[in-house]
Amino acid sequence: MKKLSHLLLLILFLSTTVCLQSCRQKDQKEQKISKEAIKKRSIKDWNKTIPGSFNDKQELFFDTLQIASFLEQYPQLTEYKGSIAKFYSGRNFAYAWYSKSGLIEQAGNLADRVKNLPEEGITKPIPYITQLDSMLYLKSAKKPDLNLELMLTAQYFVFAKLAWQGMDAAISKKTQWFLPRKKFSYEEYLDSLVKTPGKFAGIGVAPVYRQYELLKGFLLKYKALEEKEKWPAIIADQKSYKPGDSSPVIPQIKTRLFKLEDFKGDTTNILYDDELLQAMKQFQERHGLVADGAIGKGTLNELNVPLNTRIRQLLVNMERSRWLPVEVHTDYLAVNIPEFKLHVYHADSLLWSCNVVVGQSVHKTVIFAGDMKYVVFSPFWNVPPSIVKNEVLPDMRRNPNYLRDHQMEITGREGGLPVIRQKPGPKNSLGQVKFLFPNSYNIYLHDTPSKTLFNESSRAFSHGCIRVGEPAKLANFLLRNAKGWDEEKIKEAMNSGKEKYITLKEKVPVFIAYFTAFTDRNNLLNFRKDIYDRDKPLADMLLKKD
């Protein structure tokens, strides 16, 4: 009887064990199915996360309380506590950097990227990088080390914040950057990185706006130039240089252009030849100058900009790239203020560009985003109160016929000032069409009767709104799928003299950004003048020593 009781207990124990193992396997199977479901999702817009799947086996586990214990040892990593906990909670606190065979290859890839953060334009010291090196050096071939496991995960989040996320939103707002910051789950992205060894080694696409990686490549080139070149100023011996001229200064210019990868010919020849002409035009275009090949004071000034100044520009604009959406999968418009350009995109493919006029330094165009909602043909211009007070009223006192001469009329009074609007017509300051994306800054895109300003190399002339060089083309683009709005109908509406609102069936995102360094569609590095003095404050914060 006693033996029978022991036998029953043994059977019950084995049954319970099998049941627990079965439950564990079922949980793991369900988790695997869940990860496969995540894996099949696609990114529909910029604020969706990049899915991935981690180590499916999840054979090694630890206690959640051990995260707190780890952070007590390494308090500088405490700010990443939430991300670390969220990441491991999603995988039932299974080890990420170990398999049964030992430390996985991706651990070394991560450590290399963290140690080489200066290549990402990051100058801040990384917490506990020495400890990470020591842990990796002393690691056992197979035995898991929880401190190393958690250190690797914490360092991933350090890297993600510095290299991909960028400075806090409070900093971007302080620099008057009101574009929405990207939303991204770095916890989920870690899954895809660990699954693909080469990805974190630098082979994969980083979760940052594409300009980031392009500028990063040029940053490395400029740093290499700074290390080996003195970069003395080129002093002119005549007012300007043009094709056919000879001068001992010409070889200096050719050499400078060779180092900047614009010129590929003989750098010793003192003649301004055709090879130099083509190189100079490319250089001028890359710097927003009139690309006529004439080497005058403005061009020489750009040639003489110190390498360190260019490096600071690259760092600043890499940081701005960290803030932007990773991708936009719809039609959208992008205005780059220092470039004085409007770019029209379809799903991140550039369709066309045109010149724009932006706000003067005293009437800065705001850096923000909105959704294009209306096209207004033959618009009235409701003159802003500030312009009424500071410009129109003084002109009315000097010229009693000012309103009539400018096709304006008073429609009422408000705040002690007359409410004035300008009638549709050829003299209207908004031209024949305006494009509205409602916003609190009262900024919009519009046509203008002052066409000659688009020929200037620097085009900061407006009161803040953006004048478009090719308004009819933009109207055709926005209404190309609208029934009844062909090119002829649009032309007729623009010249009708009667205001007409058209509501777009689908809103079109508009991004008004500020980049003084960027790469163009030919992968050429461009620099522009910092017309609103936005670069220096950000550079100072980026390079500030903690």
pLDDT digits (tens, 9 = 90+) for 200-252: 655 456 788 999 999 999 999 999 999 999 999 999 999 999 999 999 999 99
The number of folded domains in the chain is 3
- Pair 147, 58 in one domain: yes
Domain contains 450:
yes
Is residue 418 helix, strand or coil? strand
The pLDDT value given to residue 203: 47
pLDDT above 70 as % of the chain: 86
Domain contains 86:
yes
Domain contains 392:
yes
The pLDDT value given to residue 415: 92
Q: Which one is catalytic: 23, 406, 446, 463? A: 446
Across 28-32, 522-526, 535-539, least confident range? 28-32
Query: Known catalytic residue: 354?
Result: no
Of 207, 242, 269, which one is at a domain's C-terminal end?
A: 207
- Pair 338, 444 in one domain: yes
- Pair 130, 54 in one domain: yes
The pLDDT value given to residue 347: 86
- Pair 335, 459 in one domain: yes
Residues 242, 231 contacting (CB under 8 angstroms): no
Domain contains 347:
yes
The pLDDT value given to residue 143: 80
* pTM of the predicted protein model: 0.85
Cα 214 to Cα 286: distance, rounded to the nearest angstrom: 15
Say which CATH number the domain at 277 has: 1.10.101.10
Helix, strand, coil tally for the chain in percent (to 5): 45, 15, 40
Per-residue pLDDT for 517 more than 60?
A: yes
Which of the four pLDDT bands, split at 50, 70 and 90, describes residue 140?
low
- Pair 181, 292 in one domain: no
Residues 215, 318 contacting (CB under 8 angstroms): yes
Domain contains 217:
no
- Pair 447, 530 in one domain: yes
Give Dmax (Cα) for the chain: 121
Lookup: tokens for 477? 């683009």
Query: Known catalytic residue: 465?
Result: yes
Per-residue pLDDT for 531 more than 70?
A: yes
Interval 26-71: pLDDT, tens: 444 444 444 443 333 332 332 332 222 344 445 688 888 999 999 9
The pLDDT value given to residue 21: 46
The pLDDT value given to residue 421: 96
CA-CA-CA-CA torsion for 13, 15, 21, 27, nearest 10 degrees? -120
Residue 214: name the closest of 306, 307, 73, 314 by CA: 314
The pLDDT value given to residue 91: 86
Which of the four pLDDT bands, split at 50, 70 and 90, describes residue 309?
very high
- Pair 268, 395 in one domain: no
Is residue 205 helix, strand or coil? coil
Residue 359: name the closest of 371, 367, 351, 349 by CA: 367
- Pair 367, 501 in one domain: yes
- Pair 138, 181 in one domain: yes
DSSP letter for each residue of 385-429: HHHIIIIIHHHHHH-TTHHHHTTEEEEEEETTEEEEEEPSSTT-T
- Pair 509, 465 in one domain: yes
Look-up: residue for tokens 């706000």? Answer: 359
Q: Which one is catalytic: 287, 343, 406, 465? A: 465
Of 271, 305, 339, which one is at a domain's C-terminal end?
A: 305
- Pair 347, 495 in one domain: yes
Per-residue pLDDT for 280 more than 90?
A: yes
Domain that holds residue 244: 232-305
Name 527's bridge partners.
517
Interval 322-363: pLDDT, tens: 999 888 889 999 999 999 999 999 988 999 999 999 999 999
Say which CATH number the domain at 341 has: 2.40.440.10
Mean pLDDT of 353-374: 97
Of 250, 270, 305, which one is at a domain's C-terminal end?
A: 305
Mean pLDDT of the chain: 87
Residues 407, 425 contacting (CB under 8 angstroms): yes
Domain contains 214:
no
Per-residue pLDDT for 79 more than 60?
A: yes
- Pair 473, 423 in one domain: yes
Domain contains 322:
no
Lookup: tokens for 388? 């009424």
Residues 243, 293 contacting (CB under 8 angstroms): yes
Which of the four pLDDT bands, split at 50, 70 and 90, describes residue 195?
low
Residue 280: name the closest of 298, 267, 299 by CA: 299
Domain contains 310:
no
pLDDT above 90 as % of the chain: 75
Is residue 137 helix, strand or coil? helix
Per-residue pLDDT for 131 more than 60?
A: yes
